[in-house]
Amino acid sequence: MKSFLAGIFALFSLTVFGLPTAKGLEHLSIAGSEYVRLADWAASTGFKIKWIKKNEQLEVRSPSLRLDFTVDSRKSEIGAVTIMLSLPMVVRNGTPLISLTDVESTIQPILFPQKNPKQHLKIICLDPGHGGKDTGKIDKKNLEKKYTLLLAQEVAALLQKNGFKVILTRNSDQTLELSDRAFIARRNSADLFVSLHYNAAGTPDVRGVEVYCLTPPGFNSSNDGGGKSDRHAYAGNVNNDHNVMLGYQMLKTIIRALPIEDRGLKRSRFEVLREARMPAILIEGGFMTSPLDSRLVYDATFRKRMAQAVVDGIISYRKLTEGSDEKLQIPTSKHQ
């Protein structure tokens, strides 16, 4: 009981009194990137590490939270939610190392959300992807632009019932330039920007939901394999911590509420994310090329459930960032 209370107190202290930092830890250079010892970071934040499979898989755990890492892989988990890192977790001389960038730009903002009691989310900008001459993905007679709009309208109605003001970048089958979408959000002083899309792949067995937030400067996007790059910062990077917080809460809520595969929280430089001046994410709500996913995408009842999950994700994010008494709820790992 004492150890449990100590763990809860440590988490409370870190959350209330400030985001922990890895700056004070010893940095090691691996292939030109800064890493820290995973055990050092875990100890500094009240976690412990344990090998699940020596030199292959390990967990980082507190009494209530669990992170899972695989050696030489960018794929990790926080709770039961898949997170794609910018650089792989590696082992050198038997010591597991995690990149400083991933600690500071992904893991810590999710685990220790920054509260702002003065912040009140009121205006949500929903961006139904594509429209007009831009059909988006095509599956026989089904066009992505139709289903993104239907989903956005469902989400908008639910948000309004919950007291939010909603801005739609489009409310009909109209052509809209990418550059206009973030501008509409800025012009209407939106507090959040959520772009809605559906996916496609070359084979029908690829399925699941993905949530994207903006890539950190100096790194490649997830679908480009991660790793370092010479890409600079964009306007949207000013909200890096809140982008990843919102993305995590959204993906967690969707995969817990719906029978859909978790393909992870990922990074990308989509134009709508680059140019957003407020916390922003892009949701890929399933693969139109998957018989399993497409059946759900085209189903009106499932669409209502997806809409509710999106709204619940926004509300969960709001509770964390507005400094309410809501505690960070992260489910136990899917490996348990």
275 and 313 assigned to the same domain:
yes
Taking the whole predicted model, whether its pTM rises above 0.85 is answered as: yes
Tokens 């995973």 locate to 38
203 and 276 assigned to the same domain:
yes
Cα dihedral across residues 270, 318, 98, 82: positive or negative: negative
User: Which range of residues forms the domain containing residue 130?
Assistant: 123-321
**Do 64 and 76 contact (CB within 8 A), yes or no?**
no
**Do 98 and 35 contact (CB within 8 A), yes or no?**
yes
In this model, does residue 7 exceed pLDDT 50?
no
Q: Which residues, 6 or more positions from 2, have their beta carbon under 8 angstroms from its beta carbon?
A: none
Give a yes or no: residue 114 inside a domain.
no
Mean pLDDT of 147-160: 98
Question: Of 4-8, 177-181, 221-225, 324-328, which range is least confident?
Answer: 4-8
Mean pLDDT of 136-143: 96
Give a yes or no: residue 186 inside a domain.
yes
Number of independent structural domains in the chain: 2
Give a yes or no: residue 313 inside a domain.
yes
With CA atoms as reference, report the closest residue to 45 among 77, 97, 7, 78: 7
* DSSP codes joined into one string, 99-122: EHHHIIIIIHHHHSPPP-TT----
164 and 277 assigned to the same domain:
yes
98 and 139 assigned to the same domain:
no
In this model, does residue 324 exceed pLDDT 90?
no
Q: What is the pLDDT of residues 94-109, one digit of tens each?
A: 999 999 999 999 999 9
Which pLDDT band, with edges at 50, 70 and 90, does 3 fall under?
very low
13 and 158 assigned to the same domain:
no
131 and 267 assigned to the same domain:
yes
149 and 205 assigned to the same domain:
yes
Give a yes or no: residue 328 inside a domain.
no
Q: Which residues, 6 or more positions from 263, have their beta carbon under 8 angstroms from its beta carbon?
A: 82, 208, 209, 210, 284
91 and 158 assigned to the same domain:
no
* DSSP codes joined into one string, 250-311: HHHHHHHHSS--EEEEEEE--HHHHS-SS-EEEEEEEETTSHHHHHHHT-HHHHHHHHHHHH
Give a yes or no: residue 43 inside a domain.
yes
How far apart (Å, rounded) are the C-alpha atoms in residues 226 and 119?
33
Which pLDDT band, with edges at 50, 70 and 90, does 322 fall under?
confident
Q: For residue 63, report the phi and psi dihedrals to the nearest 5 degrees.
A: -60, -25
Q: For residue 33, report the phi and psi dihedrals to the nearest 5 degrees.
A: -115, 150
Packing angle of the helix pair 300-321, 240-257 (nearest 10 deg): 140
Amino acid 117: pLDDT: 66
Q: What is the pLDDT of residues 27-64, one digit of tens each?
A: 999 999 999 999 999 999 999 999 999 999 999 999 88
Mean pLDDT of 131-139: 97
Give a yes or no: residue 36 inside a domain.
yes
How far apart (Å, rounded) are the C-alpha atoms in residues 319 and 336?
28
Mark which of 49, 77, 107 sits at the end of a domain: 107
**Do 247 and 188 contact (CB within 8 A), yes or no?**
no
149 and 184 assigned to the same domain:
yes
Give the number of C-alpha atoms closer than 13 A to the C-alpha of residue 269, restricted to the C-beta side. Answer: 16
Q: What residue spans of 123-270 are helical by DSSP H?
A: 144-161, 178-187, 240-257
| CATH number for position 181 | 3.40.630.40
In this model, does residue 330 exceed pLDDT 90?
no
Mean pLDDT of 279-294: 98
Which pLDDT band, with edges at 50, 70 and 90, does 2 fall under?
very low
| CATH number for position 101 | 3.30.457.10
How far apart (Å, rounded) are the C-alpha atoms in residues 126 and 159?
10
Q: What is the pLDDT of residues 166-209, one digit of tens each?
A: 999 999 999 999 999 999 999 999 999 999 999 999 999 999 99
CA 292 to chain centre: 23
Mark which of 107, 141, 157 sits at the end of a domain: 107
Return the SS3 of 212: strand
| Burial state string for 98-107 with b = 16 or more CB within 10 A and e = fewer than 16 | bbbbbbbbbb
Amino acid 74: pLDDT: 98
152 and 296 assigned to the same domain:
yes
Which pLDDT band, with edges at 50, 70 and 90, does 114 fall under?
confident
In this model, does residue 6 exceed pLDDT 80?
no
141 and 259 assigned to the same domain:
yes
In this model, does residue 23 exceed pLDDT 80?
no
Amino acid 49: pLDDT: 96
Mark which of 78, 107, 136 sits at the end of a domain: 107
Q: What six digits make up the tokens of 59?
A: 């967990």
**Do 255 and 331 contact (CB within 8 A), yes or no?**
no
Amino acid 335: pLDDT: 39
Could you say which DSSP state residue 50 is in?
A: E
Q: What six digits make up the tokens of 272?
A: 């709508």
158 and 218 assigned to the same domain:
yes
Which pLDDT band, with edges at 50, 70 and 90, does 21 fall under?
low
